[in-house]
């Protein structure tokens, strides 16, 4: 007679695809219960869910419009609207609000969107695990690297090392100023990110990696002496500066330093592209204040010597590795995380 297995043993024995479906269904059922959204009928039987509807819902939200989503999915708009209606009937709540500007999520919509991202990633990982059974790690891993930081300097090395050690992993890298990486992690769009800050933010966990010091980089025409000593912030009163927009962590750190020293901050342009910033500084269009990794890059790409000095009082920001505190990383994601930590450890040397 076959011995009775424990729940954990039964789970481990399940095919990976089945584990994925069960895991995703349980997560969504818990969220439905907390939001009073029905995920089972009156007899407690789980209501079937069409994965394609979840995918369509994600595309609608990401594109901001049912019309654009229909074009991206190559299906008729009425058919897509029917899918959305079926999804809303399934959960017993309105998920999206339509307006002339497009669509926006309700609270229930936010909950479904977050879990839909997780379920679809689990489905992709299940397929990858099944295809690579007995072989190397495989699957898609999404990583956010905050611009204007040391994180942006490790992107190529991260790609190269991942390809070298785990060729079955499909690495998705994003580097954007305008997106909130912590929110993308909570929504399941990213599995991890290197970003500025230490939290706390509910739903994500921060692991401080290193502290980045800020340096002034300026053309010699600005009459700033080349000196090993830090340049005082109040000595930069009225100097034309090129900086990221006000919502960027780097910009906020610079704004705070100038405010505390009661120094006039003269921003003549807001630049979100490092290459453009480097060329503008090289051309004498303005100076900039950047974390050391970016300052070094600007200096190295310049056609002539630039002034590069530490700023005083010291301006610095903490670079942290951010992951979800709700959803564990997949094995491929853990492998990428290890490589990322190795690369950032070199930056501290």
Task: Examine the domain organization and report whether 189 and 272 are in the same domain.
Answer: no
Whether the model clears a pTM of 0.95, i.e. scores above it, the answer is: no
| pLDDT band for position 341 (cuts 50, 70, 90) | very high
Q: What would the pLDDT profile of 259-275 be if each residue is shown by its tens digit? A: 999 999 999 999 988 89
In total, how many domains does the chain have?
Answer: 3
Contact between 164 and 232 (Cβ < 8 Å): no
CA dist 289 and 314 (Å) reads: 12
Task: Examine the domain organization and report whether 272 and 251 are in the same domain.
Answer: yes
CA dist 153 and 289 (Å) reads: 17
pLDDT of residue 23: 47
- Asked if residue 194 belongs to a domain, the reply is yes
Helix axes 66-73, 51-63, angle to 10 degrees: 120
Task: Examine the domain organization and report whether 180 and 240 are in the same domain.
Answer: no
Task: Examine the domain organization and report whether 199 and 236 are in the same domain.
Answer: no
CA–CA–CA angle 338, 339, 341 (5° rounding): 65
The total of other beta-carbon atoms located within 10 Å of residue 311's CB is 20
The total of other beta-carbon atoms located within 10 Å of residue 112's CB is 29
Which residues are bridge partners to 169 per DSSP? 139
Average pLDDT estimate for 32-36: 45
- Asked if residue 265 belongs to a domain, the reply is yes
Decide if pLDDT at 102 tops 70: yes
Decide if pLDDT at 246 tops 60: yes
Of 116, 146, 181, the position where a domain reaches its end is 116
Give me the residue label for tokens 């992951």.
Answer: 323
Mean pLDDT across the chain, nearest whole number?
82
Decide if pLDDT at 178 tops 70: no
Measured CA to CA in angstroms, residue 175 lies from 62, 119, 154, 195, 296 at distances of 17, 24, 11, 10, 19
Task: Examine the domain organization and report whether 111 and 17 are in the same domain.
Answer: yes
Its domain, for residue 83, covers 12-116
Contact between 187 and 193 (Cβ < 8 Å): no
Q: Of 179, 205, 194, whose CA–CA distance to 146 is shortest?
A: 194
- Asked if residue 121 belongs to a domain, the reply is no
Task: Examine the domain organization and report whether 192 and 338 are in the same domain.
Answer: yes
| pLDDT band for position 155 (cuts 50, 70, 90) | very high
Q: Of 125, 269, 248, 227, whose CA–CA distance to 181 is shortest?
A: 248
pLDDT of residue 179: 66
Find the CATH number of the domain harbouring 297.
3.40.190.290
Task: Examine the domain organization and report whether 25 and 97 are in the same domain.
Answer: yes
Average pLDDT estimate for 83-109: 87
Give me the residue label for tokens 């998705």.
Answer: 172
Average pLDDT estimate for 107-125: 82
Question: Which residues does 81 contact at the CB level (< 8 Å), separation at least 6?
Answer: 66
- Asked if residue 57 belongs to a domain, the reply is yes
Decide if pLDDT at 132 tops 70: no
Decide if pLDDT at 298 tops 90: yes
- Asked if residue 5 belongs to a domain, the reply is no
Task: Examine the domain organization and report whether 32 and 103 are in the same domain.
Answer: yes
Minimum mean pLDDT range among 27-41, 51-65, 220-234, 284-298 = 27-41
Classify each residue of 274-300 as buried b or exposed e, where b means 16 or more C-beta atoms within 10 Å of its C-beta.
beebbbbbbeebbbbbbbbbbbbbbbe
């Amino acid at each position: 007679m076959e011995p009775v297995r424990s729940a954990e043993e039964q789970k481990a024995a399940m095919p990976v695809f089945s584990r994925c479906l069960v895991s995703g269904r349980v997560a969504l059922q818990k969220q439905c219960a907390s939001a009073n959204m029905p995920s089972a009928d009156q007899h407690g039987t789980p209501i079937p869910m069409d994965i394609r509807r979840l995918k369509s819902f994600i595309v609608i939200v990401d594109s901001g419009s049912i019309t654009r989503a229909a074009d991206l999915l190559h299906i008729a708009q009425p058919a897509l609207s029917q899918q959305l209606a079926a999804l809303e009937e399934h959960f017993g709540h309105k998920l999206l609000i339509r307006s002339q500007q497009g669509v926006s999520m309700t609270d229930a919509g936010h909950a479904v969107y977050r879990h839909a991202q997780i379920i679809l990633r689990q489905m992709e990982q299940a397929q990858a695990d099944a295809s690579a059974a007995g072989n190397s790690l495989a699957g898609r891993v999404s990583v956010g690297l905050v611009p204007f930081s040391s994180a942006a300097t490790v992107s190529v090395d991260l790609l190269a090392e991942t390809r070298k050690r785990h060729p079955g992993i499909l690495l998705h890298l994003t580097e954007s100023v305008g997106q909130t990486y912590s929110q993308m992690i909570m929504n399941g769009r990213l599995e991890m990110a290197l970003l500025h800050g230490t939290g706390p933010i509910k739903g994500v966990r921060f692991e401080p990696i290193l502290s980045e010091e800020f340096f002034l980089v300026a053309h010699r025409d600005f009459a700033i002496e080349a000196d090993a000593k830090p340049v005082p912030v109040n000595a930069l009163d009225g100097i034309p500066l090129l900086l990221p927009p006000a919502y960027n962590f780097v910009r906020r750190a610079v704004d705070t330093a100038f405010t505390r020293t009661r120094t006039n901050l003269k921003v003549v342009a807001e630049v979100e592209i490092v290459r453009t910033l480097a060329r503008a500084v090289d051309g004498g269009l303005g100076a900039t204040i950047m974390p050391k990794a970016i300052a070094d890059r600007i200096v190295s790409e310049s056609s002539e010597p630039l002034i590069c000095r530490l700023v005083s009082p010291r301006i610095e920001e903490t670079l942290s590795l951010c992951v979800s505190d709700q959803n564990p990383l997949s094995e491929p994601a853990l492998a990428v995380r290890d490589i990322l930590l190795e690369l950032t450890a070199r930056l501290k040397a």
